[in-house]
């Protein structure tokens, strides 16, 4: 699965938001707990771990660090060291191992993107560096990004204060490049042939006359030696340390041109400036280096065999469940490069769908994270398991749990109850976030149990749809911007004059809301239409 596909799916993943009641997650039991024998460190504070069958998502911990990484971080923690000397030593060693001109460890992939942007804007000039994000008087203030590469992570680039130029065609890109262009940012895509207009090679040709650096975001990709992106024309490529590389979760890896990475390091902590807040520790720096060293030595063929065996064992466990089919998808591309198992069935036959199964797996012990698909084009529903982050023994636990859910007699979904009221009209909505309040508006049209209309937030008006099942209401809208999405799922109880409940907001913490009918004053004044143009204004 490509990173852009992962980003699109964030709002529907069980773990992208809070399917467990928020109050139960944040409430205090009144005092410290005494660890119980057999508990792990997370259970000792009331947090239940998750079996990862989705991939390297930051929200559930990315990947697990390799033993070599843990050992290196432990060893590094026992000494003091001068950070510039450490960065130069790590940079040289990364260059030797990877074949790149230079290397740098950042506080995550997004932080690395921020550092590189600051480097391209300032050119390594500290006088400019300390003025970011005020770019008044700077020569280079623009970053060009194809629309297909816009994503939630390019906030890291925008934080520097640059003007983002979004282009839709190669022709637009070529016309947009000029002396003000500091950088081109691209999401990694190795599937575009070199002779195609959107290929990295073609974009590099456009950038070369202006000497414009190209940053490639390969966050979740496998490492390649020599690096495929640098070979194709990238100036710097950025990786997440806590994804495929199995390094520290809070580290990133930058490989590429030395002069830019030296300027990027200058923009980062321990130096003072725009990226001081993205501090990477000496332990993470040595851990990241150890992860790269371990990657070179790791038997990747044997690793893939193990991942396929996990899926084969789960498929065998489910083979006796009537109506359930399993198919293995081999990985394509370098991003999230692991096989996956698609488990499909007819929801009418088993009286459950992929979203129901995924939510039950996510919220009940043992907690298991999976992808879900409500319905596909053939009317089938499914869940998908990725084995790349599964650990020994997980396959049996996962297989048994899914077998239990799909082989039982699930009750048929209940018919919706008659709506308690007609909610058509305008509603004033008070929203309570954790540290602020906001006023929104609903414009509701109702057809029996079904609702449609509009939701006006603080900045925009968007479509809304929903259902009213008796007095239980659910309304959904979404604030969509280029590269960003904030879902609003209102749910609670409704009456003829009041609606109240909570708001599920995907990866963001839930909020509360209360809606009341808008009071309108009847204005019975007559309206006069003048018979001619005015003689005075």
Q: What is the pLDDT of residues 405-421, one digit of tens each?
A: 999 999 998 999 999 99
Residue with tokens 């971080």: 73
For range 458-467, the mean pLDDT? 97
Q: For the chain, how many structural domains are there in total?
A: 3
Residues 75 and 219 in one domain: yes
**Residue range(s) defining the domain that contains residue 469:** 425-517
Alpha carbon 77 to chain centroid distance?
31
Q: Which is nearest to 56 in space by CA: 3, 129, 17, 103?
A: 3
Burial class (CB in 10 A: 0-12, 13-18, 19+), 31: exposed
Q: Which of 297, 331, 359 is the last residue of a domain?
A: 297
Q: What is the pLDDT of residues 353-406, one digit of tens each?
A: 999 999 999 999 999 999 999 888 888 999 999 999 999 999 999 999 999 999
Residues 474 and 391 in one domain: no
Task: Report DSSP state, residue 414.
Answer: P
The whole-number pLDDT of residue 4 equals 46
Residues 125 and 236 in one domain: yes
Query: Which H helix or E strand runs over 358?
Result: helix 354-363
Cβ-based neighbour number of residue 58 at 10 Å: 16
Residues 110 and 200 in one domain: yes
Per-residue tokens: 219: 């966050």
Percent of the chain exceeding pLDDT 70 equals: 93
Residues 250 and 185 in one domain: yes
pLDDT at 310 > cutoff 90:
yes
pLDDT at 452 > cutoff 50:
yes
The whole-number pLDDT of residue 520 equals 83
Residues 245 and 354 in one domain: no
Residues 110 and 130 in one domain: yes
Residues 6+ apart with CB under 8 A from 431: 437, 438, 439, 440, 503, 511, 512, 513
Q: In CATH, what number is assigned to the domain containing residue 35? A: 3.90.1150.10
Residues 42 and 168 in one domain: no
Q: Which of 407, 439, 455 is the last residue of a domain?
A: 407
Residues 320 and 468 in one domain: no
Q: 385 in a domain, yes or no?
A: yes
Question: Distance between CA atoms of 186 and 180, rounded to whole angstroms?
Answer: 18
The whole-number pLDDT of residue 222 equals 95
Q: What is the pLDDT of residues 67-117, one digit of tens each?
A: 999 999 999 999 999 999 999 999 999 999 999 999 999 999 999 999 999
Q: 257 in a domain, yes or no?
A: yes
Q: 524 in a domain, yes or no?
A: no
Q: 395 in a domain, yes or no?
A: yes
Q: Are 399 and 416 in contact (CB under 8 A)?
A: no
pLDDT at 8 > cutoff 50:
no
**Residue 7 pLDDT level (bands cut at 50, 70, 90):** very low
Q: In CATH, what number is assigned to the domain containing residue 82? A: 3.40.640.10
What is the DSSP secondary-structure string of 81-113?
--HHHHHHHHHHHHHHHH-SSEEEEESSHHHHH
The whole-number pLDDT of residue 413 equals 86
Residues 152 and 214 in one domain: yes
Cβ-based neighbour number of residue 186 at 10 Å: 21
Cβ-based neighbour number of residue 90 at 10 Å: 20
Residues 96 and 222 in one domain: yes
Residues 235 and 104 in one domain: yes
Per-residue tokens: 292: 């790269």
Task: Report DSSP state, residue 364.
Answer: S
* Strand positions, DSSP E, 346-471: 368-369, 371-373, 381-386, 425-432, 437-447, 450-456, 461-469
pLDDT at 152 > cutoff 60:
yes
Q: What is the pLDDT of residues 254-278, one digit of tens each?
A: 999 999 999 999 999 999 989 999 9
């Amino acid at each position: 699965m490509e990173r852009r596909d992962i980003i699109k799916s964030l709002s529907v993943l069980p773990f992208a938001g809070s399917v467990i009641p928020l109050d139960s997650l944040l409430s205090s039991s009144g005092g410290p707990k005494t660890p119980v024998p057999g508990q792990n460190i997370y259970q000792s504070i009331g947090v239940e771990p998750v079996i990862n069958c989705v991939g390297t998502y930051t929200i559930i911990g990315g990947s697990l660090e390799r033993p070599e990484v843990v050992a290196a971080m432990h060893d590094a923690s026992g000494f003091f060291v001068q950070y510039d000397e450490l960065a130069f030593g790590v940079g040289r060693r990364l260059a030797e191992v990877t074949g790149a001109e230079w290397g740098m460890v950042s506080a995550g992939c997004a932080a690395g993107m921020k550092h590189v942007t600051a480097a391209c804007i300032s050119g390594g000039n500290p006088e400019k560096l300390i003025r970011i994000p005020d770019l008044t008087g700077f020569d280079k203030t623009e970053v060009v990004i194809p629309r297909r590469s816009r994503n939630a992570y390019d906030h890291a680039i925008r934080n520097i204060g640059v003007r983002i130029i979004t282009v839709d065609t190669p022709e637009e890109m070529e016309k947009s490049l000029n002396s003000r262009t500091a950088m081109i940012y691209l999401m990694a895509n190795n599937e575009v042939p070199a002779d195609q207009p959107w290929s990295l090679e073609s974009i590099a040709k456009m950038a070369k006359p202006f000497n414009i650096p190209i940053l490639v975001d390969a966050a979740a990709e496998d490492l390649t030696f020599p690096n495929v992106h640098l070979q194709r024309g990238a100036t710097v490529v950025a990786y997440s340390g806590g994804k495929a590389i199995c390094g520290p979760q809070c580290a990133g890896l930058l490989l590429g041109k030395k002069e830019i990475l030296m300027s990027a390091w200058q923009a980062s902590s321990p130096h003072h400036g725009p990226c001081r807040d993205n501090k990477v520790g000496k332990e993470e720096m040595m851990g990241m280096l150890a992860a790269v060293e371990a990657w070179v030595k790791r038997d990747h063929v044997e690793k893939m065999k193990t991942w396929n065996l996990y899926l084969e064992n789960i498929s065998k466990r489910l083979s006796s469940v009537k109506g359930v089919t399993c198919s293995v998808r081999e990985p394509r591309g370098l991003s999230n490069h692991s096989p996956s198992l698609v488990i499909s069935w007819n929801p009418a036959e088993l009286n459950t769908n992929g979203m129901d199964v995924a939510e039950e797996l996510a919220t009940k012990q043992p907690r298991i994270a999976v992808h879900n698909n409500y319905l596909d084009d053939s009317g089938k529903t499914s869940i998908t398991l990725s084995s790349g982050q599964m650990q020994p023994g997980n396959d049996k636990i996962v297989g048994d749990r899914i077998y239990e859910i799909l082989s039982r007699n699930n009750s048929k979904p209940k018919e919706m109850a008659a709506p308690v009221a007609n909610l058509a009209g305008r509603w004033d909505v008070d929203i309570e976030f954790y540290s602020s309040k906001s006023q929104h508006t609903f414009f509701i049209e109702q057809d029996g149990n079904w609702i449609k209309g509009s939701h006006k937030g603080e900045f925009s008006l968007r479509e809304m749809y929903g259902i009213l099942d008796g007095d239980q209401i659910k309304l959904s809208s979404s604030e969509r911007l280029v590269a960003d999405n904030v879902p609003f799922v209102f749910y609670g109880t409704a009456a003829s004059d009041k609606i109240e409940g909570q708001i599920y907001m995907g990866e963001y913490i839930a909020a509360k809301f209360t809606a009341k009918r808008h009071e309108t004053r009847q204005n019975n004044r007559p309206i006069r239409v003048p018979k001619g143009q005015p003689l005075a204004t």
